[in-house]
C-alpha cells in the first residue's frame, strides 16, 4: 500500500519525461516483448541484465536511435518514431543526452575543442565546476588521442552535460573507469538530474551502480522486471 502511495506521490510531484508503450524488438531472435516504462523528472532508472539480453538495444530504442519493431516512445506528448526526421534530430540534439561506452569524440581535436562543439551546438556555456569535479580541467588543452580511456570518457560526459539535456541515456558510462572515479561520475549524473529537473536511464551490468538509482529493472526472459 505504501509503495502505491509513494508511486502516486512521485507522479503528482514531478512530471513525466518519457514513456514507452508495448515495445517489441527482434534481430535474429526475439529480444523483448511488451516492454513498458516511464521516466519522471529527477528520477533515475537502471536497467540491468546479462550480456546479450538486449539492454543496449532497448536503450537505443528509448533514446531515438533505433525504431522498435513494435510499440511507441512518447516524448513531449508525441511518439518520437512518428516524427519527421528533422524533428527527431532536433530532439536528439537538444533534449536527449546520450552517453555510450565507446565515446564519440573528435580525435584530431583537443578536449576543449570537443567541448566547444557542444557549446556551439547548444548555445550553453561549459560548466567549469563540472570539469573540476570530473578532474579533466588539467588535460583540457591536450589532444583526445593523448588522454587515457577514462579521461576521454569523462570529457564525453562533460560534453553531453554541457548541452543541458532533459534526459540522459547512459550505456555502461563507467565501463572504462576505476571504482572511485565511477562513483564520482555517477554522483555527477545524479546531481545533474536533480539540479536540472532531468531524468536518467542507465544501462549497466554492475548491480552496485544500478542500486544507486531510484528504480531498477532487469531485462530477462523477454521481459523487463521491476526489481526495485
Toward Mg ion, which CB reaches closer, 56 or 110? Answer: 56
**Other C-beta atoms lying within 10 Å of the C-beta of residue 96:** 22
Contacting residue, 57, 64, 110, 174, with ligand ADP by CB under 6 A: 57
Toward ligand ADP, which CB reaches closer, 39 or 58? Answer: 58
Stretch that binds Mg ion, among 29-37, 50-58, 61-69, 143-151 (CB under 5 A): 50-58
Q: Which three cell numbers stand for residue 116?
A: 566547444
- Among ligand ADP, Mg ion, none, residue 51 binds (CB under 5-8 Å by kind): ligand ADP
Contact 32, 58 (CB under 8 A): yes
Cell match 570529457: residue? 155
Q: How far is the CB of 186 from Mg ion (least distance, A)?
A: 18
Beta strands in 140-222 (DSSP E): 167-171, 199-203, 215-220
Q: Return d(Cα 167, Cα 40) in angstroms, integer.
A: 10
Contacting residue, 18, 45, 46, 49, with ligand ADP by CB under 6 A: 49
**Other C-beta atoms lying within 10 Å of the C-beta of residue 179:** 11
Q: Which residues bind Mg ion (CB under 5 A)?
A: 56
Q: Which residues bind ligand ADP (CB under 6 A)?
A: 27, 31, 49, 51-57
Amino acid at each position: 500500500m505504501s509503495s502505491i502511495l509513494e508511486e502516486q506521490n512521485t507522479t503528482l510531484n514531478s512530471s513525466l519525461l518519457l514513456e514507452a508503450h508495448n515495445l517489441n524488438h527482434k534481430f535474429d531472435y526475439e529480444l523483448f516483448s511488451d516492454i513498458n516504462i516511464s521516466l519522471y523528472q529527477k528520477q533515475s532508472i537502471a536497467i540491468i541484465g546479462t550480456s546479450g539480453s538486449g539492454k543496449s538495444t532497448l536503450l537505443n530504442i528509448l533514446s531515438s536511435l533505433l525504431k522498435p519493431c513494435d510499440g511507441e516512445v512518447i516524448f513531449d506528448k508525441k511518439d518520437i518514431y512518428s516524427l519527421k526526421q528533422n524533428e527527431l534530430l532536433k530532439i536528439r540534439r537538444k533534449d536527449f543526452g546520450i552517453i555510450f561506452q565507446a565515446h564519440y569524440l573528435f580525435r584530431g581535436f583537443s578536449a576543449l575543442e570537443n567541448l566547444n562543439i557542444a557549446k556551439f551546438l547548444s548555445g550553453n556555456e561549459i560548466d567549469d565546476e563540472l570539469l573540476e569535479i570530473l578532474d579533466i580541467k588539467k588535460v583540457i588543452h591536450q589532444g583526445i588521442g593523448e588522454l587515457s580511456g577514462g579521461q576521454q570518457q569523462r570529457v564525453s560526459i562533460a560534453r553531453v552535460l554541457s548541452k543541458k539535456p532533459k534526459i540522459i541515456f547512459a550505456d555502461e558510462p563507467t565501463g572504462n573507469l576505476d571504482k572511485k572515479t565511477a562513483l564520482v561520475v555517477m554522483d555527477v549524473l545524479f546531481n545533474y538530474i536533480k539540479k536540472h529537473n532531468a531524468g536518467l536511464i542507465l544501462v549497466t551490468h554492475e548491480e552496485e551502480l544500478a542500486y544507486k538509482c531510484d528504480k531498477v529493472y532487469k531485462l530477462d526472459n523477454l521481459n523487463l522486471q521491476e526489481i526495485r
